[in-house]
Structure 1
Amino acid sequence: MLKQNLIKAFLYLTTKLAGAGFLYLVMSGYLLISTGFDLYEFVEEISHGFLWFVVYVYGILCSIIIDLLTYKVSKKQFSVKILLYVVAGYAFFIVREINVIMLIAGTVGALCSIIFYVGAYNSFRFQSFKYAVIIAPLFIIMLMNFDFTEKEQWVEVRSDNTYIATFEYFNGKHEIPFHVKEGQTITVFHEFKNSNGGGHGSHFLNEKNDLVGMTEVSEKKVKIEIQDSGVYSMVVTGDDVKGSFIVTWEIDEDG
């Protein structure tokens, strides 16, 4: 009896994973098209932990709760479930604040909830579909381990406290590491020259790849107070851009 219950629980869970996997694949397809099949931008977007939480944690948890709520509803169960999935999609956003933006986001959430339900429902009917949509997201996870940055005619010059790069094409990211100690302060000057109107930006990460807070000294200069010793990185990003950038930095040894 225990073995049978475990098998039933496993099969039930696979339907929820199928629903989440189907939704994740649909979202991946949308992001791939909306980014113009730019693999670097696609991987950056699809890697956000927020998406994983919404799909695989919030989505599965709500689906299980809905099943419990409709367990004894025999008549019109389909309609009731659809309604509850729509409510769950809106609830994630409007519980924080009700405004136009949240209502739009809630509508998107409701649509995603229905897609989740379609995936879970079809997994009951088609075993091949079930395991395909469970396994397929693993290939997207594999893509996250690759850097799809593209550089053309990239020329760089680096000294102890300066980094200069010129390029004909840059789409992706480039990291400039700094070896710093706890209590030190690093002041960074950065200037980006754009020759073709492409996009660009920058941010700072610590060794755990967490974003690091910084104080803006001026338009092109920021200051970072180091909390933990290690290698910090300035990440310069480019979006189909041609040009050059220069980064210089000073480290306050006195902390």
Structure 2
Amino acid sequence: MNKKFVSPNVVEYMVNKLAALGLLLFLMCSYLLLATEFDLYEFTEYLSNLKIWGLICGYALVTTLLIDLIRYRWIAFTVQTGVLLHCLAGFIVFFPFMGISFFSVIAGAVGSLCAFIYAFSSYLFQRKKKFLWVILLVFPLLLSVRLYDFTSKKGWTVEETNSSFSAEFEHFNGKHEILLSLKKGEKVTSYLSFTQIDEGGYGYHILDHNEEYVGIKELEESEEEGTQAIEFNAAQPGVYKIIVTGDELKGKIDVNWEID
């Protein structure tokens, strides 16, 4: 293999790897857009899971650095062998977590395909360097897109008190945040009721002051159909969020809470 594949210039080498990663992320995001039928709110929710994206990027970069280190320090092998090693790394990563099963094989096949795209892109950008900087724009673009809230509301009518929230709407696709200022150790019991007129979907979750998911305890459902009682505790003081979500939903949402 031609040793120009890895530039002696560390900056140029890392730019190449980041550009290849940017192209992979662009293709993955294109697939997500198609899979969500261009629902920009759902798309940005996928982008907001920084832990998953960080693991994907980190694993890709560490793997390719190790393969290149082996290639140029200890064992010389061809470009084709390097690509195969990337594919193998993308395939086996799921087995320690999922075991050997049909689903882990499918996940491994997808990981192998992503690894192939990444390794091939890195090689391609060594020959087509003018595309490097264009592809690198993917990172700031994705960061800026995920910060925008694409929630859409139509006919949105709200009634609020210190311990309740109610909204009626003709259309709701996205999220709405209900803010609770809590002291350490306070317990919140909340009753969430969703009245669904159309076939849209709905859901809810709790975030703490660090935008981390809060564990909740589901209590026995109310006798009233569609009402769910939940309970959670404030591990630290701060502003917590009860987030209700709608997926092309028409109807009404009622949320009541008690703080002890």
- Structure 1-normalised TM-score? 0.92
Q: Match of 2:25?
A: 24
The whole-number CA distance in structure 2 between the counterparts of 1:39 and 1:172 is 9
Report if the CA contact (8 A) 1:23-1:55 is conserved: no
The whole-number CA distance in structure 2 between the counterparts of 1:47 and 1:165 is 26
Report if the CA contact (8 A) 1:168-1:243 is conserved: yes
- Aligned-residue RMSD, C-alpha: 1.6
Unaligned runs of 5+ in 2: 1-6, 222-227
Report if the CA contact (8 A) 1:171-1:239 is conserved: yes
- Partner SS, residue 95 of structure 1: helix
The whole-number CA distance in structure 2 between the counterparts of 1:36 and 1:135 is 24
Residues 115-140 of structure 1: CA deviation (Å, up to 9, x unaligned) = 11122111101122111111223111
- Partner SS, residue 36 of structure 1: coil
Q: How many residues align?
A: 246
The whole-number CA distance in structure 2 between the counterparts of 1:95 and 1:221 is 37
Q: Match of 2:11?
A: 10
Q: What is the aligned-residue identity percentage?
A: 34
Paired residues for 1:160-171 under 5 Å: 160-171=162-173
1:223 equivalent in alignment to 2:222: no
The whole-number CA distance in structure 1 between the counterparts of 2:249 and 2:128 is 46
The whole-number CA distance in structure 1 between the counterparts of 2:162 and 2:70 is 64
Q: Match of 1:85?
A: 86
Residues 73-105 of structure 1: CA deviation (Å, up to 9, x unaligned) = 556x02211210111101210133211111110
- 1:229, distance to aligned residue in structure 2 (A): 1.3
- 1:214, distance to aligned residue in structure 2 (A): 1.2
Q: Match of 1:154?
A: 156
Q: Match of 2:247?
A: 239
Q: Which of 207, 210, 228 is matched with 2:209 structurally?
A: 207
Q: Match of 1:174?
A: 176
Residues 189-242 of structure 1: CA deviation (Å, up to 9, x unaligned) = 010011101010000011111001111112310111221111111000011010
Unaligned runs of 5+ in 1: 1-5
Report if the CA contact (8 A) 2:83-2:120 is conserved: no
The whole-number CA distance in structure 2 between the counterparts of 1:25 and 1:62 is 20
The whole-number CA distance in structure 1 between the counterparts of 2:207 and 2:161 is 21
The whole-number CA distance in structure 2 between the counterparts of 1:50 and 1:225 is 24
Distance 1:223 1:125, change over 3 A: same
Report if the CA contact (8 A) 1:166-1:243 is conserved: yes
Report if the CA contact (8 A) 2:15-2:132 is conserved: yes
